[in-house]
Amino acid sequence: MVRINLPKKEVNTFYNAADTMPEEEYCSGLACYVSRNLKKEFWKKAMAQRPRTYCLGKCYSSPSSSSTHEKPIIEVRSRKSVIGRYLLKGELTLKDYISLGGFKALEYALTSLSKRNIIKEVEKSYLRGRGGGGFPTGKKWLLAYNQKETERYLIVNGDEGDPGAYVDRFIMEYSPFLPIEGALIAAHAIGAQKVYFYIRREYPRSVARVREAVKSMASFLKYKLPKIVVVVGKGSYVVGEETALINALMGRRPEPVFKPPYPTERGLYGKPTVVNNVETLSNIPYIISNGGKEYYELGFSKSRGTKLVSLNSLFKRPGIYEFEFGVPLKEIVSTGGGLKRGKVAGLLIGAPLSGVVRPEEFDTRLGYEELEEIGSSLGHGNIIAFNEESPPGEILREIVSFLSYESCGKCTPCRLGTKKLEGILSKGYILRDELEEVYDIAHTLVSSSLCGLGIGAGRVVLSFLSKYRRVIVHEG
Amino acid sequence: MKVKIDGVEYKFEKKISILNAARKVGIDIPTLCYDRRLSPNASCRLCLVKIKGKGIVTSCTTPIEDGMEVVTDDDEVRKAVRMNLRLLSSRYPKPALKKRFDQLLERYGLKEGGGAINREEIDDSHPFIYVDMNRCINCYNCVRVCEDIAGRLVWRITNRGAESRIIAEGGSLGRSSCISCRACVDVCPSGAIEDAMLVKYGTPERYYWSVCNMCSLACRVSVGVSRNKPVLIRPAGEKPLDAGGCLKGRYIWEDAFYSAERLHYPLIRKGGFLKKVDIKDAIGIASEKIREAVKEQGSEGFGLIVSGRLTLEEYYMLNILSREVIGSDNVWNSFTLCYQSILGEFMNSIGSIWPSIPYKEIGISDSIIVVGDVDSYHPALGDAIRELSLQGDARLLVVGTSPSTEGFMQNASDVYIKVEKERIGGLFNCINKRLVEEGYVDLDYLRGATENLGEYLGVINGEKSCENNAEKAVEMLGRGRNVSLIFEVEPWYESTKELIDTYILLNGRERRANIVPLFEECDLVDAFYILGGRSIDDLAQKAKERELKTLMIVGGNILRPAIRERLLSSLRDVDFIIEIVPTLDYFSRYYASLVFPGRTYLEKRGHYLSSDMTIRHAPSSLEGTEFQEFDLLKGILEALGYSVGSMEEVWNVVKEKIRKNVIAKNNSGKKYKFLF
Ligand SMILES: Cc1cc2nc3c(=O)[nH]c(=O)nc-3n(C[C@H](O)[C@H](O)[C@H](O)COP(=O)(O)O)c2cc1C
Ligand code: SF4
Ligand code: SF4
Ligand code: FES
């Protein structure tokens, strides 16, 4: 039994934007940091702003503020387009979406497939979660489907908080019907009676568009569908972690909870719950319409289908590109057209919970395991290139200070360990005397943190130290 | 289930956590945020262990699995634990108290604590609870115990990350909605939330053993003394059923001991007011009034109401007074006043109302049934049962009727059945029927051990319908080899019969069944002497007819409110009421003509009989408490011309009596009788 809706006053203190925020917000995120020299006055304002804003999803034109409105380049670079084709024409209306073949998959799923067979198609496609965990989506659905409890929920995770990531944002803005269609198929397959669509507050346009879409669909679809509730965030990064998200929806502090039991067994209100990322669900209509097998033929190794990657503003051609898994990193970098300033000194893929990639490693191919192998991780497919203006020690400082700021504080290593590291790194490098302590804390974070945030924090430090130790560590 | 822990293979019956499994076999794993009363939070990250093929996990949340290999302490684990402890200690003031956190710091050789002390983090607005959040290590135990067990939301977490802190509702504990249960004091591992008494009077200089008389379990407890004042009660041991750790026992004594209404000398009513009177004179008056009553009305002119919380020596003295000196049976006690009807059923069926085993032996059961709200009325036992289940020692079937039982016991149960009070009988009838149908009962054995098996089987197979679905319960009980049936008997229970029948049915050559009836508000102890005593109507009648002239009430009255009302209205017609109590209560204030100061259990010498027939010795060791109820009664008896020996001599007589009467009665070899 979980008590819901704890006293709001205290719960709200968890969020940095539950009360008031400045009219114009400036982003302190990592993508804005590495490109700070492109618009120095923006970065200055960001550094002065309290409370801080982390990532406005405008990393293609960063340093960014809430009042600029440029659009990113969007291109399809895969043999077949799964999602990208819905993003090429800007904001779609319901009619536009239908003319592109929208809602055919939902209709087919509702009328011609059994629930079990929908899940089978998704299993066949070998679609994996795009929210960072990479868990096979079909398998997740099956876990919920097999529960005894019949009250079930689906949560769409639109919290996209990773710096440099803005794919979910543009899916929600340009084609909100796509993840909604995927969500309705998912809800139907797992037998969920209600869908919660959680969107971060930093994406006001996404919120408006998804709300609009939910409304406009109501009169259009003749099937009895689960209710979709749109919930808007209040400023927290860790709330994107699925168990924290569930707590947030219940009006509790958005702190992660240990697993197992997984949400598929005990999630929202203690009931079986599937949490899926916006992009993950946006793949579903294609899989249902074309069959899991066809989807599986795209991509390679254990990473199938396509992935939208987002490039930061230091690239000459920053934007969203749909690639098939398996594309070498160097091809992505050249698609971005090289950098506006300086040379590529390294890539941050899947930041902040993932390691750094050195230019020597650019032959690596885009894939879950392949990136893990070089100590990095796919994350949201967010790729931030940095140049020599940003020394690795300072990048690490930015990441660690972000994670310390966003730590929920529940578990010891993350609450106090990231804080301690933040202190040590505040100068932008590590002294030799401090090195042992840094290693000890990082290892402790990796081995004993409760959720991915603390574990990721430790991994980032270890990755930077293994790849840039010589420049990060200074002799006393 | 076979699990290898630190290279040694162990077998476990139930899927319990690695932490509990390890502790069970004597391997300690450090923890701060784990508390056996709470569901795990997994936030301190100290209970780390390494699972072969899986890496480091928190043992408090990871269940054991067949074939699992666990290492509790290798280099990597120790390093991480040490680092987490160091991080925690970096903000902690100098370790001073001997709290669990301080002990861990010492064990890991960490002396870092030297965090600054911020005056604003100290909150002394609450009379019983002292708060110093400088010591807080963010385990959230207080928040969780308040929300999950006390059902309040007094403790709250604000902010996040390194800034997160615990605050009391509204910023001040004294002005919050705290109910002073002090569960948070109990679970706080760092001393951030501490007993105000300890802070005020200091950590105990010494401890002595005593026996808590707050419920019929009569647990042994350890009393901490500072400057000859009791400041702390600790449970006697750490194992379940050593008990004595319940909140009732830990704290209620303060209300009596330190009460502003505490009596220090006798009081006599003069012109409507209570006036101080010398003890010798008071004893003289009491005996005179007793003598007068007997002179006027014969032996029926005097009566006694005795509480269930007295020592055996005191019961003995009262018995002498009533039966030998006066020669009457005019003794009322809480038990017979409340439970007269049910008493008959027990005696008729199994010949005893005593538990068939000492409470400690519940610990060797493999299956336990709990019916009713054990937690509220016998919290120490409730705690122990929950732990037996969580530790995997026994399977637990909980039949819940009230919300509180649900919350506490349900979480620990293997099978949980929720049923309305009126349907408990039906449920057990159904369980009984299925036990028979599915061949789980030893008919050959029962034929010899009961009077009326044939008749019983006829009835349950025929007319008694089975309305509940109880398969899981039946399977659990059927497979058990040592089953304890523990139930809270309420005066209005309709289901006592069916429960007793279940007990009888579960007995067999291959299975031992135990019955442990608990009486929610009243105690069995006094019933030991006065079983078959008189009912409340009888008392009211005697008073009304002005037959009862002098009445003596011994011990704080603990009757259920409904009965108390009826009692009070009849007491108006009694001429002279003598009362012996520790604190002035409404009896003494409005009804008593003569009041003697009594002792709380902390100051008492003597022996208690636990309701499971175990004898517990309390040697008081507070100075200035030499004169006790025993001496008072002795004085009255002597004034009436009857001499008794010393307390030691009395004890020897009592001991002998118990051995003869009770133990013998329990093993009388009488055949059981189904009640249906
Ligand atoms: C600190 C942290 C933050 C996360 N933030 C997000 C997020 O913003 N969006 C998201 O989809 N998943 C996020 N995740 C991953 C979710 O926990 C979860 O795995 C995901 O939503 C599941 O959906 P998927 O299987 O479709 O990827 C985060 C995880 C962690 C540990
Ligand atoms: S790792 Fe950090 S964010 Fe995750 S539960 Fe622990 S304190 Fe919270
Ligand atoms: S006050 Fe005590 S129990 Fe509460 S969080 Fe702090 S250390 Fe834990
Ligand atoms: S006891 Fe397991 S994490 Fe605290």
Q: Domain check: are B347 and B320 in the same one? A: no
Examine the domain organization and report whether B235 and B276 are in the same domain: no
- Count of CB atoms situated within 10 Å of the CB of B111: 11
**Domain spanning A306-386: CATH 3.40.640.10:** no
**Phi and psi torsions of A10, nearest 5°:** -75, -40
Question: What's the rounded Cα separation, in Å, for the pair A27 and A64?
Answer: 6
Q: Is the same domain home to B252 and B279?
A: no
Q: What single DSSP character describes residue B301?
A: G
The pLDDT of residue B559: 57
Please state the rounded mean pLDDT for residues B119-136: 94
**Tokens 């609009």, residue?**
A212
Mean pLDDT, residues A285-295: 98
**Structure tokens belonging to residue A410:** 């529940």
Using beta carbons and an 8 Å cutoff, which residues of B are at the interface with A?
40-46, 48, 55-56, 58, 61, 76, 79-80, 83-84, 87-88, 90-91, 137-138, 140, 147, 153, 156-164, 167, 169, 407
What single string gives the DSSP state of each residue in B62-82? Answer: PBP-TTEEEES--HHHHHHHH
- B43 within a domain of the structure (yes/no): yes
Residues B240 and B282 in one domain: no
pLDDT band at A312; cut points 50, 70, 90: very high
User: Do B222 and B309 have their domain in common?
Assistant: no
Residue B96 counted as domain residue: no
Average pLDDT over residues B323-331: 86
The answer, yes or no, to whether the previous bond of A204 is cis (omega within 30 of 0) is no
Q: Which among A342, A336, A296 has a CA at the least distance from the CA of A320?
A: A336
C-beta atoms of B88 and A416 within 8 A:
yes
Maximum average pLDDT range among A117-121, B320-324, B531-535? A117-121
> How many independent structural domains does chain B possess?
4
Half-sphere exposure of B417 (CA within 13 A, CB side): 25
Give me the mean pLDDT over the B597-603 stretch.
91
Question: Which single residue is written with the structure tokens 């099956």?
Answer: A142
* Each residue's pLDDT tens digit, B639-651: 999 999 999 999 9
Residue B259 corresponds to which amino acid? S
Q: Tell me the pLDDT band of B144, cut-offs 50, 70 and 90.
A: very high
Q: Is A168 in the pocket of ligand 1 (CB under 6 A)?
A: no
Distance from C-alpha of B443 to C-alpha of B433, rounded to nearest angstrom: 13
Judge whether residue B663 has pLDDT over 60.
Answer: no
How far is it, in rounded angstroms, from Cα A279 to Cα A159? 11
**What DSSP character marks residue B512?**
E
pLDDT band at B472; cut points 50, 70, 90: confident
Would residue B391 count as lying in a domain?
A: yes
Q: Count how many pairs of residues, chain A against chain B, have C-beta atoms within 8 Å.
A: 109
- Cβ–Cβ under 8 Å, residues A103 and A177: yes
- Complete DSSP assignment for A136-160: BHHHHHHHHHT-S----EEEEEE--
Average pLDDT, chain A: 96
From CA A463, how far away is CA A347, in angstroms rounded?
12
In a domain, B97, yes or no: no
- Is the separation of the CB atoms in A300 and A324 below 8 Å? yes
CA B35–ligand 3 middle distance (angstroms): 12
Is the Cβ atom of A446 under 6 angstroms away from ligand 2? Answer: no
Tell me which of A335 and B478 has the higher pLDDT. A335
Task: Tell me the best of A277, A451, A453 to mutate to test the pocket of ligand 1, counting ligand atoms within 8 Å of each CB and taking the most.
Answer: A277
**One domain for residues B531 and B656:** yes
Residues B368 and B514 reside in one and the same domain: yes
Closest partner residue to B153 (CB to CB) among A7, A415, A419 is A7
Q: Which CATH architecture has domain A392-476?
A: Up-down Bundle (1.20)
Tell me, what's the pLDDT at B558? 52
pLDDT, tens digit (0-9, with 9 covering 90-100), for A255-281: 999 999 999 999 999 999 999 999 999
Q: In degrees to the nearest 10, what's the CA dihedral of A296, A298, A301, A302?
A: -50
pLDDT of residue B44: 98
Task: State the CATH number of the domain containing residue B45.
Answer: 3.10.20.740
Q: Would B105 be classed as within a structural domain? A: no
Q: What is the pLDDT of residue B321?
A: 92
How far does Cα B150 stand from its chain's mean position?
17
Query: Which of B93, B89, B193 is closest to B143 using CA atoms?
Result: B193
The mean pLDDT of B553-557, rounded to a whole number, is 77
Residue type, B221: V
Residues belonging to chain B: 676
For residue B372 the two structure tokens come to 């009713």
What Rg value do the Cα atoms of chain B yield, rounded? 28
Of all ligands present, the nearest one to the C-alpha of B100 is 3
What pLDDT was estimated at residue B133?
A: 96
pLDDT the model gives residue B183: 86
- Asked if B486 and B374 touch (Cβ cutoff 8 Å), the reply is yes
Q: For residue B233, list its beta bridge partners.
A: B223
The residue-averaged pLDDT of B547-558 equals 82
User: Phi, psi (5° rounding) for residue B334?
Assistant: -60, -35
pLDDT surpassing 50 at residue A475: yes
Q: How far apart are CA B500 and CA A90, in angstroms?
A: 76
* A56, pLDDT greater than 50: yes
- Cβ neighbors of B616 (< 8 A, separation 6 or more) are B211, B218, B219, B220, B607, B608, B609, B610
Q: Which atom of ligand 4 is nearest to the CA of B47?
A: 2
Per-residue confidence (pLDDT) for residue B243, from 0 to 100: 53
CATH of A73-296 among 3.40.50.170, 3.40.50.1370, 3.10.620.30, 3.40.50.11540: 3.40.50.11540
- Please state, in angstroms and as integers, the Cα–Cα distance from residue B249 to each residue in A207, B214, B219, B244, B434, following that order: 56, 6, 9, 7, 40
Quote the pLDDT of residue B405.
Answer: 47
Residue A53: CB partners within 8 Å, gap ≥ 6? Answer: A17, A21, A25, A26, A27, A28, A46, A66, A202
Average pLDDT on B73-83 reads 96
Same domain, B213 and B325: no
In chain A, domain spans: 73-296, 306-386, 392-476
Tokens coding A431: 């002294």
- Note whether residue B676 is domain-resident: no
Q: What is the structure's pLDDT at B235?
A: 74
Rounded Cα distance, A189 and A177, in Å: 18
Nearest beta carbon to residue B138 from set A404, A409, A447: A409
Answer for the pair B258, B275: CB distance below 8 angstroms, yes or no.
no
B513 — pLDDT class (breaks 50, 70, 90): very high
**CB burial string A398-421: b at 16+ within 10 A, e below:** bbbbbbbbbbbbbbbbbbbbbbbb
Looking at the structure, do residues B493 and B532 belong to the same domain, yes or no? Answer: no
The predicted structure's pLDDT at residue B249: 74
The overall pTM is greater than 0.95: no
Whether the predicted pLDDT of A330 surpasses 90:
yes
Torsional sign, CA B205, B209, B210, B216: positive
Q: Which of residues 137-166 of A touch B (CB under 8 A)?
A: none
Decide if A263 contacts A143 (C-beta within 8 A).
no
Q: Are A96 and A76 in contact (CB under 8 A)?
A: no
Distance from CA of B36 to the nearest CA of A (A): 18
Residues in chain A: 476
The Cα–Cα gap between B660 and B674 comes to 27
Give the whole-angstrom CA distance, residue B634 versus residue B431.
53
The two tokens of residue B646 are 């010393």
Note whether B359 and B474 are same-domain residues. yes
Q: Do B159 and A409 touch (CB under 8 A)?
A: yes
* Residue B671 resides in a domain: no
Decide: residue B73, CB within 10 A, 0-12 exposed, 13-18 middle, 19+ buried: middle
Chain mean position to CA A134: 11
Find the angle CA(A72)-CA(A77)-CA(A81) to the nearest 5 degrees: 95
Asked which of A306-315, B220-229, B247-256, B279-288 is least confident by mean pLDDT, the reply is B247-256
- Which parts of B505-656 are beta strand (E)? 512-519, 550-554, 576-581, 594-597, 606-609, 615-618
Name the range with the highest mean pLDDT among A418-422, B344-348, B472-476, B584-588: A418-422
Same domain, B39 and B124: no
Kindly report whether the peptide bond that precedes residue A352 is cis, defined as omega within 30 degrees of 0: yes
pLDDT score recorded for residue B240: 55
Place of tokens 């279940």: B502
- The residue whose CA is least distant from atom 6 of ligand 2 is A411
The answer to whether residues B551 and B413 belong to one domain is: no
Percent of chain A surpassing pLDDT 90 = 95
CA distance B357 to B337: 25
If we measure between CA atoms, which residue out of B615, B614, B605, B553 comes closest to residue B580? B553
Helix (H, G, I), strand (E, B) or coil at A34: helix
Please identify, among B196, B227, B257, the residue that sits at the C-terminal boundary of a domain: B257
Q: What is the distance in A from the centroid of ligand 3 to the CA of A414?
A: 18
**One-character DSSP codes across B538-564:** HHHHHHHTT---EEEEES-----HHHH
- Model pLDDT, residue B531: 45
CATH number of the domain encompassing residue B127: 3.30.70.20
Span A202-230, mean pLDDT?
Answer: 92
Is residue B95 assigned to a domain?
Answer: no
Mean pLDDT: which of A356-370, B298-312, B363-377, B582-596 is highest?
Answer: A356-370
> Which of B257, B286, B314 marks a domain boundary?
B257
H/E element, B194? strand B193-195
Assess A1–B contact: CB distance below 8 Å, yes or no. yes
pLDDT band for position B312 (cuts 50, 70, 90)? confident
Q: Which atom of ligand 1 lies closest to the CA of A452?
A: 31
Work out the pLDDT band at B349, boundaries 50, 70, 90: confident
Last residue of a domain, one of B226, B257, B288: B257
| Nearest chain A Cα distance for residue B431, angstroms | 25
Query: What does the alpha-carbon distance between residue A469 and residue A463 come to, in Å, rounded to a whole number?
Result: 9
- What percent of chain A shows pLDDT beyond 70? 100
B524 pLDDT tier (thresholds 50, 70, 90) = low
| Residue A132 · residue A379 · CB < 8 Å | yes
Nearest neighbour of A415 by CB, restricted to B147, B158, B161:
B161
Round to the nearest angstrom and report the end-to-end CA distance of chain A. 54
Residue A179: which of A246, A102, A125 has the closest Cα?
Answer: A102
What local confidence, expressed as pLDDT, does residue B115 receive? 74
Quick one: how far is CA A177 from the chain centroid?
19
Domain that holds residue B37: 2-89
Provide the pLDDT confidence category of residue B66 given band limits of 50, 70 and 90: very high
| Sheet containing strand B576-581, strands side by side | B273-276, B267-270, B594-597, B576-581, B550-554, B302-306, B331-333
Non-local CB neighbours of B404 within 8 Å, separated by 6+ positions: B373, B375, B376
Rounded to whole angstroms, the Cα distance separating B209 from B610 reads: 16
Count CB atoms within 10 A of the CB of residue B223. Answer: 24
Average of per-residue pLDDT values in chain B: 85
The reply to whether domains A73-296 and A392-476 share a CATH topology is no
Q: What is the pLDDT of residue B532?
A: 45
Please compute the mean of the pLDDT values over residues B621-646 and round it to a whole number.
Answer: 92
User: What's residue B376's pLDDT?
Assistant: 75
A68 touches chain B (CB under 8 A): no
Q: Is the dihedral of CA A385, A387, A392, A397 positive or negative?
A: negative
